[in-house]
Structure 1
Amino acid sequence: MPLPQWAAQQPPPQYGPPPQYGPPPGGHPPPQSPTVPDAALPPPPPPKATVTRVAASRTRELTGNAVRRVQAASRADGAGESGLTQLLWVNALHMAGDAMIAVSLAGTLFFAATTDAQRGNVALYLLVTMAPFAVLAPVIGPVLDRLQTGRRWALAASALGRALLALVMAAHYDDIWLYPAALGVLVLSKAHNVLRAAVVPRVLPPQMSLTSANARQSVFGLITAGIFGGLAAGIAKVFGFTPELYVTAAVLAVAGVLALRLPKHVDVPTGEQPADVLSTGPQPDGRRRRQVNPHVVLGLRANAALRGLGGFLTIFSAFLVEGTVEGGWPATFALGGIAAAAGAGSILGTAIGSRLHAVDPDRLVLISAGVATAVTVVAAFFFSLPMAALVAGVSAVTNALGKVALDAIIQREVPESLRASAFSKSETILQLAWVIGGGIGIALPAIGWLGFTVAAALLVLAVGLILFSLHRGRRAAAQPVRPEAPTTPMGEQWG
């Protein structure tokens, strides 16, 4: 039976509205809130400002700015592209490890002794610090000279070896094994210094001088050493020396990893300047003997005088304060003032050296020795503890400038095949000068004017000999070489 027409026009049931569609019976639809855009909503109330939150925010801001400035300074003048930045941070962590090792050794019997035994213990300390250089000069220098293509690995091995020895020191802090481990740490530290100085010319940017590159590394190293040395002292004070040595091992391990990440051209001996320093050549008498470059000799002698003054001030100032200032805060303040002047002088000297892009290092080392001598002479006539602090600061400035100048002279004059030996021998001579200066400080009585008079007299003598040898060398170079008179066939000379 066909459907009616009206029914055929109805839509199928599945296309109709749902059963609950529309307003409820007998009521009205619920009111709906008007839609408000998010931008029109009021902002949430800011967190309540407190002193802690403000300090934390300001600290984060200052820390971020400091980190960015340090990174920019380390990469300036093309250092980031050449690889000098990476070497800079390896050396900074190396010097931080040195400072932390020094803090741990300060708690041993070298300094933890009664007043009567302190002079003997300091003399023992001087002998122990001299021992690594005695090993370094005849053995490590020639080995590193032959190591031309694996210096990244050598730098890493020196840092990782020191990390392992720091763990040995932590495990044997109270027995005899501490001393061989400490000696090994010092030897590897000096090997790192020789390697680092020999590698600098391979990562030197074209727009930077060797003096500036050496000073920049010293600036970052000194600042890092100061920070980590203070951290190590705090850890040792709160937790003891064993945890402090564990942290030291971690810092040195990071330095070893960064050394492995140095650019590959560190292992490529290219661009070295030829020179006849420490090489052999024929002599008029037919024999072959070792020649020494006069520039290196001049810089080394001037630096030896400066280093001897530094050793004297380090040891003599401690006994001077102990013998002339009453104990407690006055003695601590006096010795702390001298130490602070020396630390600030080291940072200032290296900072000045990093800005000297075009200064002749030969002239710089002579000026440094002359200034240190003049200030010491003034202190001998007008001695006081503030004057001693002034001499310590000036000595630190001139020592820093003289060292970066000497490194630049060796890097400029000595060929790559002999550079490590030159650095090891120069370090040995400088450390010996420091020990001699410290020995004079032990031997002299704690009388201020007497000690500084002796130091001034020795400095005047040393600088005078340097200037005399320089004058004699210039006169010899200015004299024309007389040609040999020709002879007749019978062997007789003409006229």
Structure 2
Amino acid sequence: MRLTTDLKDLAGVPAFRTLLGIRLISQTGDGMVQAGLATVFFFAPQNMTTAPGVASALVVMLLPFSVVGPFTGPFIDRWRRRQTLLAGNLLRAGLIVATALVMQTAGVGIGVYALVLVALGVNRFLLSVLSAGLPRIIDRERLLVANSIVPTLGGAATALGMVIGILLRLLLPDGAARNTASLLVAAGLYALAAGVVTRLGRDQLGPERPGGAGLGAALGRTAADLADAVRYLVRRGTPGLALSAMALHRFVYGMELITIILASRNLLADPAQADQGLALFGTLMGAMMAGHGIAVVLTPLAHERVSPSTWVVTCLVGGTTGQLVLVATYAQGAMTAGLVVFGIGVQGAKIAVDTIVQSDTADAYRGRAFSLYDVLFNTAECVAAGVAVLVLPDVGWSRGAQAALVVFVWCVALTYGRAVHRLGGRPREVTGPAGLGAAAPLDPHAA
């Protein structure tokens, strides 16, 4: 089976193993940090009991990344990505240690939230660096398999970190140790990830033309660089269309996430029992993560038969079968099953979009493409938060809202499929400003 061969090939690439190790270690630390945020923002008995409350908390967590994100792409395309990973992980370790110190001296307040959000923002930047560097060490025919493995294992590492963080809070006595143990362990993991980075060669992750512009010059060119990247992606066709479809589907994901949070604490559990609501939330999110895991297996197998763009449409439409269950009922068992199917669609489409953007975008634009990717992700969820305030009840579930989301996904899939068909399923030839030719398209049936 080609999947087995691809997995063996990937495991035989030392740089891929190193890059995967960096991601798993650092995202485990992210999960430990996020466990505390989820508890404070969503499941403390006195906090976030309404749709506007949950929506505002999501905006607070995501909007800073959307604001900072556009400024990261030009640096990813200019700075040595290996050095960026090294410095970024050390910076995160310092930020989290500072967070623990502030908690000890001033308690949990705005300062703690600000430091944690900055640390998570640095993480989003580093994930874009990892995505931009992956095609430098993996051949084009193995990219889809790599994209199946890396993000899903990263998500599993984040989930593991959250479990460890929650267990530490439950097992340690009340006081300073409980409040800071997870943070200090996370800081240690970030420092360890920085150490693993040193196993990579200085220029191994690119970019092709490092250096040239310092911080001030790069900031001065940010707007022009991003505008150039947007024009390139639109002219290229396939990556621009894939990013658009992803962003629209991420809006749907954001709506479902808010539904899960509110239903967990206000509909399926006693609103006064925060621990019960948190457990239900973990169950429902675990079901979606299980769907992500299934997509890891299905997507490479589908890649042997269909193109990534066809798989995007298949996943979008297929995922709505799970959403139709949520239209019919809010019973916990049915919701759990429906979210598994929806999770398959979400992750399967994302893997294919990652592959399209990586394979159809020239290296000179790839960093900016993934910074825009990240911005679209977070902005779409912020928009979902705003819409949720208008259409979702405080119990989270609404048959009308769920039905509208299904129809919306169908429209996205139809529009995207027709647009790709008009291109003949292949990107347009585009020449960059410096005479750079665009990346060759990925042949889904390559040997």
- Same fold, TM-score > 0.5, yes or no: yes
1:201 aligns with 2:135: yes
Cα distance in structure 2, aligned partners of 1:317 and 1:247:
29
- Decide which of 76, 99, 107 is 2:31's aligned counterpart: 99
1:466 aligns with 2:416: yes
- Decide which of 3, 6, 12 is 1:80's aligned counterpart: 12
2:60 is matched with 128
1:301 aligns with 2:248: no
Deviation at 1:177, TM superposition (A): 1.5
Correspondences of 1:65-76 after superposition (within 5 Å): 76=8
- Decide which of 250, 254, 267 is 2:192's aligned counterpart: 254
Give structure 2 stretches of 5+ with no counterpart.
Answer: 210-224, 428-447
Deviation at 1:214, TM superposition (A): 1.5
Q: Deviations over 1:93-114 (max 9, x none)?
A: 1211221110122343554252
- Decide which of 126, 139, 151 is 1:218's aligned counterpart: 151
1:396 is matched with 343
Cα distance in structure 1, aligned partners of 2:65 and 2:47:
29
**CA 305–139 in structure 1, closer or farther in 2 if over 3 Å, else same:** closer
Cα distance in structure 1, aligned partners of 2:301 and 2:15:
19
1:12 is matched with none
Q: How many residues align?
A: 392
Cα distance in structure 2, aligned partners of 1:134 and 1:225:
21
Correspondences of 1:60-209 after superposition (within 5 Å): 76-109=8-41, 111-114=43-46, 118-147=50-79, 150-173=80-103, 174-205=108-139, 209=142
Q: Secondary structure at the match of 1:108?
A: helix
1:14 is matched with none
1:347 aligns with 2:298: no
Cα distance in structure 2, aligned partners of 1:332 and 1:184:
25
**CA 325–139 in structure 1, closer or farther in 2 if over 3 Å, else same:** closer
Cα distance in structure 1, aligned partners of 2:47 and 2:40:
15
**CA 414–128 in structure 1, closer or farther in 2 if over 3 Å, else same:** same
2:284 is matched with 338
Higher gyration radius (CA) = 1
Q: Does the aligned pair in 2 maintain the 1:364–1:402 contact within 8 Å?
A: yes
Q: Deviations over 1:179-216 (max 9, x none)?
A: 2212211221111111000110111157x521111122
Normalised TM-score (structure 1): 0.70
Cα distance in structure 1, aligned partners of 2:245 and 2:338:
17
**CA 354–258 in structure 1, closer or farther in 2 if over 3 Å, else same:** farther
Q: Does the aligned pair in 1 maintain the 2:29–2:158 contact within 8 Å?
A: yes
Normalised TM-score (structure 2): 0.77
Deviation at 1:289, TM superposition (A): 8.7
Give structure 1 stretches of 5+ with no counterpart.
Answer: 1-71, 272-276, 282-287, 478-495
Kindly provide the amino acid, as one letter, of the partner of residue 227 in structure 1: L
Q: Deviations over 1:374-402 (max 9, x none)?
A: 43235424554333222321222222122
Cα distance in structure 1, aligned partners of 2:277 and 2:180:
29
Kindly provide the amino acid, as one letter, of the partner of residue 408 in structure 2: L
Q: Does the aligned pair in 2 maintain the 1:211–1:408 contact within 8 Å?
A: yes
1:243 is matched with 181
Cα distance in structure 2, aligned partners of 1:100 and 1:396:
23
Deviation at 1:365, TM superposition (A): 1.3
Q: Deviations over 1:415-442 (max 9, x none)?
A: 1111111111111112222233344344
**CA 333–245 in structure 1, closer or farther in 2 if over 3 Å, else same:** closer
Q: Does the aligned pair in 1 maintain the 2:316–2:410 contact within 8 Å?
A: no
Q: Which has the higher helix share?
A: 2
Q: Secondary structure at the match of 1:262?
A: coil
